[in-house]
Homo-oligomer: A and B are copies of this chain.
Amino acid sequence: MVIIMHPEATQQNIDEVVSVIRSRGLEAKIMIGEQQKIIGVIGDKTKFASVPVDAMPGVDHSVEISKSYKLASREFHPESSVIDVDGVAIGGAEPVIMAGPCAVESREQLLESAEIIKAGGAQFLRGGAYKPRTSPYSFQGLEVEGLKYLAEARERTGLKIVTEVTTVEAIEHVAQYADMLQIGARNMQNFGLLKEVGRCGKPVLLKRGLAATLDEWLNAAEYIMNEGNPNVVFCERGIRTYETYTRNTLDLSAVAAIKHLSHLPIIVDPSHGTGKWRMVKPMALAAIASGADGLMMEVHPNPAKALSDGNQSLTPEHYREAMAAVKKLAAFMRTL
């Protein structure tokens, strides 16, 4: 942390700030120039969050320069992590594809989807059994029944299952049927839920919050890892901006940023990222070219009849086309 004092701050003001810093076991370094009086704070960065210096006399403002996460940081873990999900490696040479309908709507719809997904070459089947919906009148998911269909689909196809968990109470059920737990965008800072999935043994797919900074996202991973679960995979799914043409603004630069800041893998969800099925394929290819470790895509046997997110779901045919291109591109990228 760097503290910028008022131009007219007194020596006593400076002394008091330094004294508070030292009382927290941190070191203070003073820099005084003609126009600036600055105090640098040095030491264990996890102690910084609780130094409320801006409230002290003579302080103009302060600037945070350290990261508050450690376990998720590449600084202390320079090698990239590969997360194993029951035999499928995320973060390795080959991109991992997760595909399936937004929601599990019925046994038939899910099993049909699973066959399509398997045939197209993805390794994971996605599908929500618990659906966080903006309106209480929208379809809320089949819950445990949906989980059972997912498990049945796994038995038939061998696909791994990734599905969202929205409450602490549901973790036990979801963990029983799924191979990987998804934390959705709206729950990225549901800290009680993060801690609990941190205590559960399953790998976690952590979607970026609707308006989460990279720093907040990395700290959300830190919550999970701090409870003993190192198997976290990030999923960029678009952020909220002023642009309304797309449902969200897919921030592909997050891929390179996360790879620089963290050792954990990151995949990209162009379906939620754009909200338009027409844009899924070009953005899937862009994600792979940017270095993403995989993709999550919404596919529905009949998008026009989907109970949610039909507008952004690929038809089986478009899914096959997209997968063919993604695989070729991924193979090409390994030669670059």
Contacts and interface: CB of A to CB of B under 8 A. Distances in A.
Contacts of A169: 168, 192
B216 A54 contact: no
Contacts of A151: none
Contact of A242 (B2, B213, B260, B291): B213
B219 A52 contact: no
Contacts of A168: 167-169
A70 to B, nearest CB: 8
Given A7-B75, A139-B50, A310-B55, A239 B243 contact: yes
Interface in A68-100: 68-69, 75
A40 B49 contact: no
Nearest to A192: B167
B137 A49 contact: yes
Contact of A187 (B170, B190, B243, B307): B190
Contacts of A187: 190
Given A255-B282, A329-B332, A66 B36 contact: yes
A47 B251 CA distance: 32
Interface string A26-69: 01010111111010101111110110111110000011011011
Residue from A7, A63, A279 having most chain B Cβ neighbours under 10 A? A279
Contact of A35 (B43, B186, B250): B43
A304 interface: yes
A135 interface: yes
B43 A34 contact: yes
Interface stretch (A110-118, A153-161, A269-277): A269-277
A47 to B, nearest CB: 8
B135 A68 contact: yes
A119 to B, nearest CB: 20
B250 A54 contact: no
Given A190-B187, A213-B245, A289-B329, A279 B250 contact: no
A200 interface: no
Nearest to A42: B33
A12 interface: no
Nearest to A35: B45
A316 to B, nearest CB: 13
26 contacts: A2-B38, A2-B65, A29-B29, A36-B65, A38-B42, A49-B139, A49-B308, A52-B304, A54-B310, A63-B65, A132-B189, A134-B216, A135-B219, A136-B191, A136-B195, A166-B191, A167-B192, A186-B191, A239-B249, A240-B242, A252-B283, A256-B274, A285-B290, A288-B289, A329-B336, A332-B332
Interface of A: 2, 4, 7, 20, 27, 29, 31-36, 38, 40, 42-47, 49-50, 52-56, 62-63, 65-66, 68-69, 75, 132-139, 166-170, 186-187, 189-193, 195, 209-211, 213-216, 219, 222-223, 226, 239-246, 249-253, 255-257, 260, 273-274, 276-279, 282-283, 285-291, 303-311, 313, 325, 328-329, 332, 336
